[in-house]
Structure 1
Amino acid sequence: MAQTRSFSVSIALLAAGALFLEILDGTILTTAIPAIASEFGVGAGEVSLVLVAYLVAAAVGIPAAGWLSDRFGVRPVFLLALLVFTVASLICALAPNLGLLIAARVLQGLGGALLVPVGRLAVIRGTDPKDLLDAIAFLTWPALVAPVIAPVLGGLITDTIGWRWIFFINVPLGIIALIAGVVILPRETKVSTGSFDAVGFIGVAIIMVALTICAELLTTEVDHRGLYALTLVAIAAITTGFITWWLRTPGRLFDVTVLSIQSFRVGNASGSIYRLVITAVPFMFTLLFQLSFGWSATMAGVMVVALFAGNVAIKPFTTPIIRKFAFKPVLIFSNAAGAIVLASFLFVTAETPLAVIGVLLFVSGALRSLGFSAYNTLQFVDIGPEQTNNANVLSATLHQLGMSLGIAVGVIAISLAPTFAWAFPLAAALFILPLLGAAMLPPSSGASALETKQPKYPKIKSDKKVSENL
C-alpha cells in the first residue's frame, strides 16, 4: 500500500522550483557582468549594482512575507510573487539601459523575497513532524544546486545566446509555475492577524540592507571599502539593539519566543553559520582554480560541478541516514568531516591529479547536502502549528542574511590568508561554531521527526518572560 503523506508533493515541487529560480537569479549574473558592461558602455563596478539591487530587495521583502501570508492567504501572495518575478524578468531582458535594469532587478528581488518563505510555508503548514524530513528534502536541493551551477549556466548562456536570455528563460518558467499554482494551491489559507508592525519592518529592513551592502562592499575593489563596511555594520548593530528591545512586546514583526525552543535556535544560529560557509565554498573553489591554478573559467566551472554531483548523489540517502543516526550525530559528522575536507585543500595544487580534486569536491558536496538537510529539518521539528508562520519567516530572514554574507566570508578568508591555499583552513575553522552547537544538542533532539507517533510540542513560556531572557 502506498505511503500516505501529510504534505502535497505537487506543492512541494512547485515551491522548490520557485525557490530554485529565486536563488539562481541571485548569483547567475556574476559571469555576465563584463558582457552587460560592454553593451551599456559602463564599468563593471557600475554593473555590480545589478547584483546588489536584487540581494537588497530580497533581504527587505522577506520579513513582510509572514504577515502578508496570514492577512491575504498563501495562495494569492505566492501567485502575486510569481507574477511580479516573471514580469520583472521580462523587463530585465528588454531593459534598454543600466538604470532600468537595476530598477527591474529591485522588483524581481521583491517578488523573489516572497517566493522563499511563502512557498516553504505552503509545504510545511500542516505537515506532521514524521513527514517533515521528506517535505524539507524537496526544499533543500535548490539552495544547494543553484549557487553551484549558476556561474557555469550564466557563462554558457552569455557566451552563446547572450546575457538577456538569462532573464528571457524565466518568463516561460514563471508562466508554467503560475498555471501550476492556480491549479494546485489551496484557496482558503488565511488566518487571523493583527496590524502590520511597520516600525519593526523598517528596523529589520535597515539591518538587512546595511549588512547586505556591507558584504557586497567587501567583495569589490572600491576606495575606503573597509570604512564603509564598518559604518554599515555599526548602523546594523545600533538598529539591532533597538529592534531587539522593540520585539520584546508581543504582536511585533517576529515573535522571538520561538527562540526558546533549542532545536529551532540551533537550527538557525548554528545553521546560519554553516550555510554561510557552504555558500562561500563554490566561490572560493572557482577563484582557486582560475587565479592560483591558471585554469580557464569554463574548466573551473566544470570542475566545481562535482559539488553538484555530490549533492545529487547523496540526496536519496539523506533522510534514511538522519532517521537511522538522528540529528545530533549527523550534524556533528557533517560539520567535522566538512571542515576536514575543506581544510585539505591547503595541500591541493595545480599538479594534483584532477581525479583527486574531483573526489574531494564530490565528498564536500555530499557532506554539505547532508548537513543542510539536517539543519533545515531540525529547526521545524518542535514548532507547533500556531508558531509555524512566525518561525518560517524568522528562519527565512536569517537564511537570506547568511547566504548574502557567504561570499564576503570567502573574500575575507582569502585576504587574511598568507597564501591562497591557506584561505581554506581559515574558512574551515568556522565550522567549529556549528560543531559546538551540534555537540550541545540533547541526543533526543528532533525525535518527533524520526517517529511515527503524534508529537508533543514543547510549551513556550509567556512572551514577556522569555523575551526578557533572550
Structure 2
Amino acid sequence: MKFPTLHPRRVVPLIVACAVFMENLDSTIIATALPQIARALHEDPLHLSLAITAYLLSLAVFIPLSGWVADRHGARRVFRAAILVFTFGSVLCGLSQSMPQLIGARILQGLGGALMVPVGRLVLLRAIPKSELIAAMSWLTVPALFGPILGPPLGGLIVTYASWRWIFFINVPIGLLGWWLVTRFIDDTRAETRAPLDFGGWLLVGSGLVLLVMAFELLGKNLLANAVVYAMIVAGIALLLLYAHQSRQREAPIVDLRLLRIASFRISISGGSLYRCCVGAYTLLMPLMLQLGFGYSAAASGGITFVSAAGAMLMKATAPRIVRRFGFRPLLLGNSLLSAVFLLGCAQFAAGTPKLVMLGWLLVYGFFRSLQFTCINTLGYADVPPSRMSQATSFSSTAQQLSLSVGVGIGSQVLNTARALHGGGALVASDFQHAFMVIAALTAASALLFRRLSANAGSSVSGHPDSVATPD
C-alpha cells in the first residue's frame, strides 16, 4: 500500500502536538477519577493523590536530563523511546492492583513525559526553519490548553460510563500511532559533540525541583504544617542557588544558565514563567469557582471552561499574521495587560451571570492567552544558536513545569487566605473573586518584564520590520 507524500514541515508540528496533548491530557484527567480509583484499590482518596504527585516529581527529576539524552542518543530515537515508555507506563497504570503499583507506574509515565515533550519540541525546532516557527509553535499551544480543559470532563465521562482503567488505556493507540509517525516522517539528529553528563549538577537541580514542586503541590492543602512546606521551599531555592553558583565552573552544565545571556531567551523565561504561573492558578480556580462557588455540576463546569480551547484553535490560524503585523514586543505587552483584564472580568462572575456571557468571555480570553503562549515559546528560541537548542529546550521545559506548579500553589494559598479572612469554613464565591484579582495583578506585572524586550526582538522569526528605536 502506497501512502501519500506529506511534507515534513507540515506533519512534524502535528506529531509533536499530539505527543504534547497526550501528556497534558493524562496529567489532568486522573484528578477526576481519583475517588473511583481509590474505591477500586481500597485506599483513601487523599492518600491516592500521591499518584499525581509522583508523576509531577518524576517530571521534575528527569526533564533537566532531556537535552543531554537527546544530544547523546539522537532526538528521533529518544522521542520514539519516550513515547513507548509513556505508553507502557499508561498500560501499567491501567493494570495496577494496588497503590504502590500505581505510583510506580506513574513514575515510569513521568520519565516518558519528561523526555517526550522537550525532546519533541527539539525535534520540531530542528526540522522547521525559523521563518515558519510561529505557525509550527502555535500548534503546540493548543494541546497545552486543551489538556487541562478537556481532562476533567473526559475523566468524568470515562469513570461514569466505563472503568477508570480506560483513562490510561486510551493512551495506547495514540502512543503507538505516534511512534509509527515519528519513525516514518522524522529524521534523526544529534549534537556533533557529546558532552559528559553533569551528574552532580543534575542531583542539585533535581533535588531542588523535587522540593519546590512537592511544596507547591502541598501549599494550601493542610496536609503538612505550613512551617514544613515553607522550609521545603527555602531548601529547594537554596539547592537551585547552589547549582547556579557551581554551574559557572562546569564545562557542560545540565541546565546551561549561560543561555540567559541571550536577551530574548532570558525575558521569555522570566516573563513567560510569571504569566504561566497565573495560567496554572486559573486552571485550578475556574472549575472550583463554578462548582463550589456557583453550584455547577462537573459536566456543566467542563462545558464552560472547554470554550477556552475553541479560542485557542482560532488563534492557531491567525497567529503568524498577527505576529508579522505587530511584532513580539507589542503583542507580549498588550496580551499581558489584556489577559489581566480578562481575569478581572472572571472575578466579576456570579452564580447569576448568564452562561452565554461567561462562554463569550472565556472564548476571547482563550484566544489571547494562546497567542501569548505562542509568542513566548517562539521568541524564546528565536536567537538561540542551533548547537545550543537542546540545552534551551530542557531549560525552558524545566521552567515551564516549575511555573505551573508554583501557579497551582499560589491559587491554593490565596483561596485559603481569603477563606481565613471570613472565619474559615466552606469556600464561598467571594473567595474566588479575591483570588482572581491577585492573579490578574501578577499577570499585569509580567508586562514589566516583557517591556525590557528590544523593539526588534525576534524580528528574524516574526517577519515584522525592525524598529528604529531600541529601549534599554
Could you tell me the TM-score, scaled by structure 2's length?
0.92
CA offset digits 1:308-345 (Å, max 9, x no partner): 12212222112211110111111111110110110122
Select between 109-118 and 22-31 the one with higher mean Cα deviation.
22-31
- Report the Cα distance in structure 2 between the residues aligned to 1:192 and 1:269, rounded to whole angstroms: 29
Select between 404-413 and 353-362 the one with higher mean Cα deviation.
404-413
Shift of 1:127: 3.5
Residue of structure 1 in register with 2:112 after alignment: 111
Residue identity in the other structure for 1:438: F
Give yes or no for contact 2:67–2:390 (8 Å, CA) kept in 1: yes
Residue identity in the other structure for 1:401: L
CA offset digits 1:414-453 (Å, max 9, x no partner): 2233532221111111113311012221111111112399
Residue 382 of structure 2 aligns to a residue whose secondary structure is coil
Aligned ranges 1:59-458 → 2 under 5 Å? 59-125=60-126, 127-224=128-225, 226-249=226-249, 250-417=251-418, 419-420=430-431, 421-451=433-463
Shift of 1:292: 1.0
How many aligned positions are there? 448
Give yes or no for contact 1:71–1:191 (8 Å, CA) kept in 2: no
Residue 220 of structure 1 aligns to a residue whose secondary structure is coil
Shift of 1:151: 0.8
CA offset digits 1:343-398 (Å, max 9, x no partner): 12232211111111111111211111111111011111111112211111111110
Select between 165-174 and 182-191 the one with higher mean Cα deviation.
182-191
- Report the Cα distance in structure 1 between the residues aligned to 2:172 and 2:385, rounded to whole angstroms: 37
CA offset digits 1:180-218 (Å, max 9, x no partner): 122222135353112100001111101111111011111
- Report the Cα distance in structure 1 between the residues aligned to 2:29 and 2:115, rounded to whole angstroms: 19
Give unpaired runs (5+ residues) of structure 1: 454-470
Shift of 1:256: 1.7
RMSD: 1.7
Residue of structure 2 in register with 1:457 after alignment: none
Give yes or no for contact 1:73–1:191 (8 Å, CA) kept in 2: no
- Report the Cα distance in structure 2 between the residues aligned to 1:452 and 1:299, rounded to whole angstroms: 42
CA offset digits 1:218-273 (Å, max 9, x no partner): 1533141x122111112112211210111112322122221011110111111011
Give unpaired runs (5+ residues) of structure 2: 1-5, 422-429, 466-472
Residue of structure 1 in register with 2:468 after alignment: none
Residue identity in the other structure for 1:75: R
Residue 380 of structure 1 aligns to a residue whose secondary structure is helix
Residue identity in the other structure for 2:461: A
Identity of aligned residues (%): 35
Residue identity in the other structure for 2:462: L
Give yes or no for contact 1:204–1:243 (8 Å, CA) kept in 2: yes
Give yes or no for contact 1:413–1:427 (8 Å, CA) kept in 2: no
Residue 265 of structure 1 aligns to a residue whose secondary structure is helix
Give yes or no for contact 2:310–2:363 (8 Å, CA) kept in 1: yes
Give yes or no for contact 1:32–1:158 (8 Å, CA) kept in 2: yes
